[in-house]
């Protein structure tokens, strides 16, 4: 069973803080990793993707991948109330072609 696990939430941080969202995956051969943001009642929106070990930065967002530990994370710097949403980690396991395995998501609340 290919699994993607995300920390149980919800996660609450004050405005301006760093929010750290974590995800582990079971299939060691997985190669592609995605973070989607989903506001209540809306569809998932791609935030970041990462394929190589290390960090990838885009504005206030940093994705971190450690394939040895089978761990991918999303850091949100200078968190804003508008970042309050559910964040979905998704993994494309090897041989799965088009299929993404999603984690259950974690709800982030940024307190003004």
Partner 1 sequence: DTEVTQTPKHLVMGMTNKKSLKCEQHMGHRAMYWYKQKAKKPPELMFVYSYEKLSINESVPSRFSPECPNSSLLNLHLHALQPEDSALYLCASSQSGGARTDTQYFGPGTRLTVL
Q: Which of 56, 70, 102, 109 binds partner 1 (CB under 8 A)?
A: 102
- Contacts from 6-9 at CB under 8 Å and sequence distance 24+? 6/87, 6/89, 6/103, 6/104, 6/105, 6/106, 7/106, 8/106, 9/105, 9/106, 9/107, 9/108
Q: Which of 2, 15, 51, 57 binds partner 1 (CB under 8 A)?
A: 51
CA distances from 37 to 16, 21, 29, 67, 76 (A): 19, 12, 25, 22, 12
Return the number of the residue (1 or 98) whose C-beta is nearest partner 1: 98
- State in angstroms the smallest separation of the CB of 100 from partner 1: 7
Q: Which of 91, 103, 108, 110 binds partner 1 (CB under 8 A)?
A: 103
The count of residues interacting with partner 1 (CB under 8 A) is 21
Can residue 39 be called a binding residue for partner 1 (CB under 8 A)? no
Residues at the contact surface with partner 1, assessed by CB under 8 A: 31-32, 34, 36, 42-46, 49, 51, 88, 92, 97-100, 102-105
């Amino acid at each position: 069973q290919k699994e993607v696990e995300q920390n149980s939430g919800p996660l609450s941080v004050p405005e301006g803080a760093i929010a750290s969202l974590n995800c582990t995956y079971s299939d060691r051969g997985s190669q592609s990793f995605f973070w989607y943001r989903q506001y209540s009642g809306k569809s998932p929106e791609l935030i970041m993707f990462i394929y190589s070990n290390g960090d990838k930065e885009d504005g206030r967002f940093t994705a971190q991948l450690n394939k040895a530990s089978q761990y991918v994370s999303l850091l949100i710097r200078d968190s804003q109330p508008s970042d309050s949403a559910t964040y979905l980690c998704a993994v494309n396991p090897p041989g799965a072609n088009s299929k993404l395995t999603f984690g259950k998501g974690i709800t982030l609340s940024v307190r003004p």
